[in-house]
Every structure is written in C-alpha cells, then in structure tokens.
Structure 1
Amino acid sequence: MAKRTDIPQFGLLSGIRVVHCTTSIAAPLAASLYAENGAEVIMLENAKTPCMSRNRYGGPLQQNAKNERNLSLDLPTLEGKKVFLKLMEQTDIYIEASKGGQYDKWGLNDEVLWEHNPRLVIVHISGFGQTGVPEYVRRGSYDTIAQAFGCYMQLNGFADQPPIPAMPQPVDHLCGVFAFGTGLAALRKAEMTGKGESVDLAQYEIAMRCQNSFPVDYTMVGEKPKREGNHSAICCGYGLYVCQDGKSVYVMILGGGSIKRALPLLGLEFGTELFPADSSMIYPDTPAGDLLEERFKEFCLKRTVKEVEAVFLANEVPCSRVMEYDDALENPHYQAREVFKEWEKVDGSKFTGVNIFPKLKNFPGQIWRGAPSVGMDNEDILAELGLSDEEIKELYEKKVITQRNI
C-alpha cells in the first residue's frame, strides 16, 4: 500500500492528481504518461472484473500502471458513486474510457462532476464520441474497429490483397498521446480561468487525423490511396529489400543528396539524362526507376544485411536493418540510451520493460513503484478522502470495494 505522502516529488507534473477508470491501451497509456512524469495517478479498477491488462503475463499492466495507486470500486452502485464524487472533489484530471453516453446513464455526466469540482478536466475516450448519431455513439470499439471505421485500415497491406490492420494498436497509442496532451492543455486553461473542460476523444476521428495527406488528397482532387505493402508506390529505392542472409533492410533514397550518394554504389551515374542532377525522387514505371530497382535488389541479394547497412550508412544514405527484440537488446545504442529498464514489481520480483520517454534533462521522470494489485491502496485512498475504518469495512462487506492479489 502507498499513502499520498509516500509518492516522491519528481518530474514535470508533481502536485497534479489524475484519476482514471479505463482498460485496454489508449487511456491507460495516457494515465501512464502522467504517472511517469510525476503526477499522482489513481487507477479505478472494476471491483467485479479485473482489468484485461492483467491477462496472460500481465505485461501491459506492468508497463502502463507503474507509479500508480489502485482503488477497486463498483462505480455504478449508490455507494460507489458517493466515493467517486468525493474523489473527484480532489482531482485535477479524470480520464474514462467507455461507450459514449455511459456516464450519462449512470447519472454522472459532466455537469454533475463539475458541481463537485468546477475546475475538473474530464477526458472521455470512446470509439465514436459522446455526440452524433445515437446508433453510432453506443457502439463498442477497440483499436482495429477504429481503424476499420476511420479509413485507416484501407491504407495497410498489399495492393493485390485485402487490407490488414496496422499493428500494434497504432490508433490506441495515438489516442493515449492525444488524451495526455489535450488533458494538460485543458488543465492549464482551468488553472487560468477556474473552469474545467470536457474532452470528447473519438478513436475513429484520431485515426482520420493521423493519415497525413491521404484524406485531403481525396477531398481536394479525388485521388484514392493505394496500399503500398512494404515499398513506396511513388518512389523507387524507398522500401524493404531482402538480403543474402534472408534478413531485410529498409532504405530511403529520397532527396537529391541521397540519390547522388546512392547511385554510384549501384554502378549508376548521377547527373545524366537518366538520372538528372536536379532529381529529388526516382519515379516507378520509368526507365530510371526500373533500372534502380533492379540494381538495388541485386546489390542486397549479394550481401548480408549487416554489409548492406554498413555500405549505405557509410555513404549517408538513410537505412536500417529490420530489428527484432533480440537485436534491440544487444544493440549498443539501445544500451547506451537505456531503452530497456528493470524495476521491482510490488511483489518484490523483477520486471524488465521499456523505459520512460522522452528523456528530460532538468525534471526527468522516474519509476518509484511497480503496477499495483487490485484494490491494493483502497484503505489509504479512502482514508485520505475522510472515510472511517467502519465505513471502509462496510464498503468491503457490500462488495463496493474489493482486493485481489493479482
């Protein structure tokens, strides 16, 4: 267990309290970013069903719920709502992830929460938003559903095959980052004005927002996107190539400088009629593009991935072998920047996960605690809200709160 006073003061966000009632990836990631940067974060976990991030090896929980305290609460009950509203009175940012309108059904809409705390920032994360066509608002969603509805999935895969979902869960992770940033912006405004904000974050809209120029290419000139697979559809020398040892390298010969440095490596001459000196891109389905691709494939198939990477990097042509986790663990740059970090779980065992990023010079984040077990901090949190031992005992008896050693 951990009291509020046990939380060390560190990072950019010390002194801020964030509460989240979420599951899966998007919202837990947002909460984790707050916790890694020094905010006090309380995870409200369903008293009836543990968070799905505890399934299998529990890796997502350990990665995203470190530095957090845990209150396991049956929120929709009368007693659960009373505890929740008392907690909201002392909270800066509340993050929830559910179907649109769920909190309205529980009698806990934004206006009710603002009656208890006018400065509260409320971040709603849902698949289809809090407003719009009711049939859509009440739909359930996960990352791949948002990819499908948000026109994201159509972009991924190979042109001659059906679309495939991009992995691992890019829309969820983007939503988490949007929730983190927008929540902080809203908090700054609340501190300036004394008035809170409600953030309506719909997964499919974030999927649409993060598609670069593809949506506007269609809205402005009617150009539909093409699934590119592992190679650019508009530029040669820009994609994945298989090497002699069966491993792959990803190369980008893009821009005049890269073209000028890359062509001689392939036995081609820069500044000719075929490859003019003002070229910044070599186009497919042209004599220059066909020749470049032929030479490039031959070059890679005669060399190991290590050799290909060494030649191109020595000539300042952007490239990288396709790394796997064992490569990353052994890589000197990964090691020098401490990409992987070991910390202690609350049961005393060790856990190796991905470190805190981005790195900060003056107010860095830190890991002070592993992910909590279900209801691990019930007594401490409720006592801080002013509940007596008898009141806490009664909540346990009514199963409004619970504890599980997982």
Structure 2
Amino acid sequence: MDSSESETRTQGALDGVRVIEMGQLIAGPFAGKTLAEFGAEVIKIEAPGSGDPLRNWRLIKDGTSAWWQVQSRNKRSIALDLRSKEGQEIARRLIAEADVLIENFRPGTLEGWGMSYEALSELNPSLIMLRISGYGQTGPYRDLPGFGSIGEAMGGLRHLTGEPSRVPVRCGISIGDTLAALHGTIGILMALYHRQAHGGKGQVIDVALHEAVFNVMESLIPEYSAFGAVREAAGSALPGIAPSNAYRCSDGYVLVAGNGDSIFKRLMSVIDRDDLGNDPALADNAGRVKRVDEIDAAIEAWTHTRTVAEVMEVLNGARVPVGKVYTAKDIAEDPHYRARDMILTQRTRDGFDIEVPGVVPKLLGTPGSLRTPAPRLGDDTDAVLRDVGLSEEQIQALRERKVIA
C-alpha cells in the first residue's frame, strides 16, 4: 500500500483539531506526529535558517534526514523567529485560534517570551497546552537540562538494561522521549474530552521525561517497598517469570516465552523433556522460577543444534510463543507487516519514494493516514500567515526583516 491510497480513507478521528507545535527533535514532535496521523492540523513552528535539528540527524537523503520523513509527515512548517517580538506576536495569533499547543523547551522559556499559559489562556481560554521537559514544570530539578537518556536513567530503566555486573546500556532508540510523547498524547486526548464534556476550558499537561519512564517500570517500587528488593539487570531474561529468555540457535537467537503453565508442558514435550514438564514442582511459575537455570539450560540444549527457522516452525506448531530477533531487513521483508499496512511507501517533497512505518493504533472506524509528506523548512509559512489575516505586503515585510523565512 502507498500513501496515496490512504488519502481516500474515512476522515480522521481528530479532524478539525488545530495544533501548534513548538517542540523540536523527538518528544514534542512525536506527540504532534501522532495527532496529525489521525486528522489533526499540525502547524510546526521552526527557527528560520536551521529549522528542527532532526532534519539533519542520522542518515541523510538528498539533504534531509530519513527520520524527518516519518516524524513530520502530515504537518505544515512555518519558519518563524520566536526570539523576536514580531515572531512572538505572530505565534500568539496562531495560538489564539488553536486547540492545542505542544512545546518541549526548558521550563521558563515560554514565560520569558511572554507566553506563559496564563497569558495564552487569556487569549484562548479553551487552549490545551502540552509541556514536555526533563523534570517537569515544578520541583527542585525543574531548571536542569534533561534529555531522554537522562530520563531513562532517573526513571529506573537504564539500571535494568544490559547484562548483570556490566555497564548499563540503552535500548538503541530514544525510548524515554517516545514514552513522554505518548503520555503527552494521552493527556491531550483526555483534556480534549474534558473540554468538550465540561464547559470548554483548557488546561496544562505537564509531562516529565523521567516520570513517563517511571510509569512503565511495573513492580519496581512496590517490590522495594514490600521486600527491600532492588531489581537488577538480568540480560535477556524476564526476572521472576520462567521460562522467558533468549536462546542460542545454530545461526542466531530466538526468544521463547514458555511461562504459561500449559505452554510450559507443551514446550517441554517438544524438546523431549517430559520429565520437567510433568514434574509437580514445576507446575506453576513460582516453582519454575526456583529452577530457572536448569530449565533454560534444557531449552538451549535443544535450540543450539537447530536453526532459527527450524525452532520457529516446531514451536509455532506446538503453540509455544516464539520469535526471532528482527533486523530492519527482516521487518521490511515480512509479509505480516505488509498485510497490516505497517510498511507504507511515501513520496517525499523532494520527489523520491521512501518506505516508512504505518500508523498505530489502528482505528477501524476513523483510521489514521499519511495525507502529506514531511514539509521542507517554511513550506507553509505564507499560507499559514494568510490564514491568520496577514496581507502579502505584511508577509513580505516580515521576510525582509528575517522574522520569517
């Protein structure tokens, strides 16, 4: 499927919602991306000349990051100098007609430009404002610089990643930023619902990077509170759940989740270890956890003489959850991804085709879509300014003074 087909689909769930995105890089823009995929009009404000630094991150195709083509699809770009008084005034005009404002500056930045929530809500009482920062808008750390990796560390995640007694590793993507963006998106949707149901008033959504990470840390704090237990890194295993691990094959690794009671019995039967499958002491998870090393060794004794494909075929046939470790190539070539429209072809504004991830979640009544490719810097400046009532002469004068580009 390509992006042109998605343009004919049902209207988006957020059609009619106008969003001003002031953020850059990952956390704020990912929230904007998600809203835009479901029909919101997202106007992205970027600095003239440089724009969002993400335009130049990682691998570059025809002068633009391939990542940019995903993060900024369905958005409009206006190049506006927010450090100038005239630029701030234009931003206020845009915000006055918006439903949502997204920003991920350091706390106090907008206040320094005269754009606190209190000031903006006087212009637009129904405004919903998402603020994503390292440590939140309050508290003793609010003014410290914070990136996603720092949020992952403070949120407790980085301590658990990697092998025991070795340096903590990151998961390979900016998961702290993305978790913050998803929490922010949820907050926006709840605030939109509340505004509609309870009198039309907006509110602030305050998301801290480390809190978004901490929110998904499962039993970390309850176990410390109840038992004084400090959970440690466990490599590829899932502590306290057995068996659930990565196992070596002759040509790679597979992940096997055999921790359900009936699944465990089927798994042990497949690997010719009915002695373990029928052992009453291993009938439930608590018993298996006590002997997890023995069970893991038995599974790997069977997998290491077989290929990944062979293990996958046998365990899938026995209804035991199993998965290979996918690379980008594996994903791109997988028929299931294609069948569920999770790989789409998008024509960029520079005229080349690129494959990009599809839209998640899948709403069957009002699905998300790829309507327009990611904009070049300032592509929509003139059109957006005309929408808020500026004349061609005013637009030209702003351009001459380098307020816009």
The code of the aligned residue for 1:226 comes to: E
CA distance in 2, matches of 1:8, 1:67: 15
Instruction: Name 2:3's counterpart in structure 1.
Output: none
Matched, 1:340 2:343: yes
Q: Find 2:146's aligned residue among 141, 151, 166.
A: 141
Matched, 1:315 2:318: yes
CA distance in 2, matches of 1:393, 1:20: 24
Instruction: Name 2:305's counterpart in structure 1.
Output: 302
CA distance in 1, matches of 2:277, 2:343: 48
Distance 1:183 1:374, change over 3 A: same
Instruction: Name 1:66's counterpart in structure 2.
Output: 73
Matched, 1:364 2:367: yes
Instruction: Name 1:3's counterpart in structure 2.
Output: none
Instruction: Name 1:196's counterpart in structure 2.
Output: 202
Instruction: Name 2:35's counterpart in structure 1.
Output: 34
Report if the CA contact (8 A) 1:241-1:300 is conserved: yes
The code of the aligned residue for 2:175 comes to: P
CA distance in 2, matches of 1:65, 1:125: 18
Report if the CA contact (8 A) 1:243-1:301 is conserved: yes
CA distance in 2, matches of 1:344, 1:15: 25
Matched, 1:350 2:353: yes
Q: Find 1:172's aligned residue among 169, 177, 186.
A: 177
Distance 1:184 1:234, change over 3 A: closer
Q: How many residues align?
A: 392
Instruction: Give 5+ residue unaligned stretches, structure 2.
Output: 1-6
Q: Deviations over 1:20-70 (max 9, x none)?
A: 011111111110111110111101111243211111421221102111111
Instruction: Name 2:22's counterpart in structure 1.
Output: 21
* TM-score, with length taken from structure 1: 0.92
Q: Deviations over 1:339-382 (max 9, x none)?
A: 11001112222121001122222212221211011111111100
Report if the CA contact (8 A) 1:32-1:66 is conserved: yes
Instruction: Give 5+ residue unaligned stretches, structure 1.
Output: 1-5
Deviates more, 1:30-39 or 1:339-348: 339-348
Instruction: Name 1:87's counterpart in structure 2.
Output: 94
CA distance in 2, matches of 1:122, 1:235: 41
The code of the aligned residue for 1:338 comes to: D
Report if the CA contact (8 A) 2:243-2:288 is conserved: no
Matched, 1:383 2:386: yes
CA distance in 2, matches of 1:369, 1:150: 36
Using the TM superposition, give the Cα deviation of residue 282 of structure 1 relative to its aligned residue in structure 2, in angstroms. 4.9
The code of the aligned residue for 1:294 comes to: A
Q: Deviations over 1:252-271 (max 9, x none)?
A: 11021111111112222268
Q: Deviations over 1:76-119 (max 9, x none)?
A: 21101110111111100000011112111222100110111000
Report if the CA contact (8 A) 1:249-1:320 is conserved: yes
Give the CA RMSD over aligned residues.
2.0
Deviates more, 1:265-274 or 1:333-342: 265-274
Q: Find 2:263's aligned residue among 258, 262, 286.
A: 258
Using the TM superposition, give the Cα deviation of residue 221 of structure 1 relative to its aligned residue in structure 2, in angstroms. 2.4
Report if the CA contact (8 A) 1:270-1:276 is conserved: no
CA distance in 1, matches of 2:171, 2:287: 27
Matched, 1:395 2:398: yes
The code of the aligned residue for 2:395 comes to: I
Distance 1:271 1:153, change over 3 A: closer
The code of the aligned residue for 1:352 comes to: E
Report if the CA contact (8 A) 1:249-1:321 is conserved: yes
Distance 1:225 1:277, change over 3 A: closer
Using the TM superposition, give the Cα deviation of residue 200 of structure 1 relative to its aligned residue in structure 2, in angstroms. 0.9
The code of the aligned residue for 1:122 comes to: M
CA distance in 1, matches of 2:100, 2:324: 42
Using the TM superposition, give the Cα deviation of residue 275 of structure 1 relative to its aligned residue in structure 2, in angstroms. 4.2
Q: Deviations over 1:196-246 (max 9, x none)?
A: 10111110111111101112211332110110111233344310011012x
SS in structure 2 opposite 1:193? coil
Using the TM superposition, give the Cα deviation of residue 293 of structure 1 relative to its aligned residue in structure 2, in angstroms. 2.3
SS in structure 1 opposite 2:378? coil
Q: Find 2:167's aligned residue among 158, 162, 168.
A: 162
Distance 1:272 1:243, change over 3 A: closer
Q: Identity rate of aligned residues, in percent? A: 30
Q: Find 2:233's aligned residue among 216, 219, 227.
A: 227
Deviates more, 1:81-90 or 1:289-298: 289-298
